[in-house]
Structure 1
Amino acid sequence: MAEPIVFLQNVTISQDKRVIISNLSLAVQRGEFIYIIGKTGSGKSSLMKTLYADMPLLEGEGTIVGYDLATLKESNIPFLRRKIGIVFQDFKLLPDRNIYDNMQFVLRATGWKDKPAMDERINEVLNRVDLLTFAHKMPHQLSGGEQQRVAIARALLNDPELILADEPTGNLDPQTSVEIMEVLRKINEKGQTVIMTTHDYALILKFPAKTLKCENASIFEVVQRTV
């Protein structure tokens, strides 16, 4: 079997000396779509932050997209994040520039210099989320669902091996949430691995996939009908 895109063994995640998740072992294979569910404060976001190196891995072993989280140097975090697309609940678009400039900002920050190549890539990712004609609109001119689709497009800019989506539908109404899920599932069908935290069980029933639950400082797989 191919090496997992995410591999954690005997990992303990703590914040302010409080154990949030203990003795976690997890292997995510390339191409999987995985939900992580659990109540607020159960550790979902802390796990995500550990995966994209916003929180250091202090106990246990962990690799993600080929990087060792336990020995990762701060100078290598930007390189790790080029191989990961991150989608947040609150979009995190820059409000003072249009959608195209939001995208260009990310490309420049990750080392792109060729203007025609940047234009081509921006058009490509906006087209994947059906927002090609929105490039020159400002974020406030878009609905919440459109802003989240822009955020997903931004996460795709560097053709990441893995998408980490932290409550991507948390601020959206049910119909818009379904539209965002359809975008994420299409991305997954093209071969990109997706790990998504959510508290929306209705979405999980509508779009079934492997589901892990955070509870009582541990994570375990749940079968669909008991979610």
Structure 2
Amino acid sequence: MSTSILSLKNVTIYQEKNPVLTNINLEVKRGEFIYLIGKTGAGKSSFLKTLYADLPLKEGEGRLVGYDLNGLKEKNIPYLRRKLGVVFQDFKLLPDRNIKENLLFVLKATGWTDKAEINLKIDEVLEKVGLKHYLNKMPHQLSGGEQQRIAIARALLNDPDLILADEPTGNLDPQTSVEVMELLRKINANGKTIVMATHDYALLLKFPSKTLKFDEGKVFEVVQRTV
């Protein structure tokens, strides 16, 4: 099994016809935890969108979880996404259904049919995020931190090779942010690769890890100062 989960060579990322990031060369190995930092508009979200095939890769070579990103066919995008777990800043839970139905929706959309297996999987991911008894609650009954935990549980449903987290603590207070980070680090310690965009520099100091900075169209590794 390859130790590389993501490989980008001479990649330029476009928003429509405008290059946002140029000449990216990057290797992410299995089990790594990587922060993406940079100002708003520096290209972090465009970078993540390219990885989950929301933006096509037009220039350079990209390989992710066994799929070539350049020339990726429309019909293969759902298979690529099954190997990815994506966590958003605003949780993206469906407000009109309870937590079990939110998770069921994802499993059915990705081809699960066996009822017993589905129930087992839902219990398993909720156990991982410490919310096993929340099956029948509606999203609006949960705090922001609990909603983000459910979003992380949802990202784990298909046992992804890679979790992409776009500002997962952006809408949370500092204490809740730390709790969500502790959960993500625990998931990472169990072998999952995580790439996380963040503005929260306090978290970087508290949970130091490899950091890539997005600045003026470039992506480069920064060495964190340890206090």
Q: Fold match, TM over 0.5? A: yes
Does residue 1:102 correspond to 2:102, yes or no? Answer: yes
Residue identity opposite 1:76 in structure 2: N
How many residues get paired?
227
Shift of 1:49: 0.2
TM-score between the two structures when normalised by the length of structure 2: 0.98
Looking at structure 1, the residues matched to 124 and 46 of structure 2 have their Cα atoms a distance apart, in angstroms, of: 32
Shift of 1:19: 1.4
Instruction: Look up the match of 1:222.
Output: 222
Shift of 1:80: 0.4
Instruction: Look up the match of 1:43.
Output: 43
- Structure 1: state its 5+ residue gaps: none
Looking at structure 2, the residues matched to 186 and 67 of structure 1 have their Cα atoms a distance apart, in angstroms, of: 27
Instruction: Look up the match of 2:56.
Output: 56
TM-score between the two structures when normalised by the length of structure 1: 0.98
Looking at structure 2, the residues matched to 110 and 17 of structure 1 have their Cα atoms a distance apart, in angstroms, of: 32
Instruction: Look up the match of 2:74.
Output: 74
Instruction: Look up the match of 2:209.
Output: 209
Shift of 1:134: 0.6
Instruction: Look up the match of 1:187.
Output: 187
Instruction: Look up the match of 1:12.
Output: 12
Write the deviation string for residues 65-101 of structure 1: whole angstroms up to 9, x where unpaired: 0000002101110000100000000100000000000
Shift of 1:224: 0.7
Write the deviation string for residues 94-148 of structure 1: whole angstroms up to 9, x where unpaired: 0000000000010000000011110000000000000001110000000000000
Looking at structure 2, the residues matched to 174 and 18 of structure 1 have their Cα atoms a distance apart, in angstroms, of: 36
Instruction: Look up the match of 2:91.
Output: 91
Q: CA RMSD in A?
A: 1.3
Looking at structure 1, the residues matched to 69 and 2 of structure 2 have their Cα atoms a distance apart, in angstroms, of: 19
Shift of 1:2: 3.5
| Matched position secondary structure for 2:183 | helix
| Matched position secondary structure for 2:102 | helix
Shift of 1:17: 1.8
Percent of pairs with identical residues:
69
Shift of 1:16: 2.8
**Stretches (4+) displaced over 6 A:** none
Instruction: Look up the match of 1:178.
Output: 178
Does residue 1:28 correspond to 2:28, yes or no? Answer: yes
Instruction: Look up the match of 2:157.
Output: 157
Looking at structure 2, the residues matched to 16 and 30 of structure 1 have their Cα atoms a distance apart, in angstroms, of: 31
Looking at structure 2, the residues matched to 170 and 87 of structure 1 have their Cα atoms a distance apart, in angstroms, of: 11
Shift of 1:29: 0.2
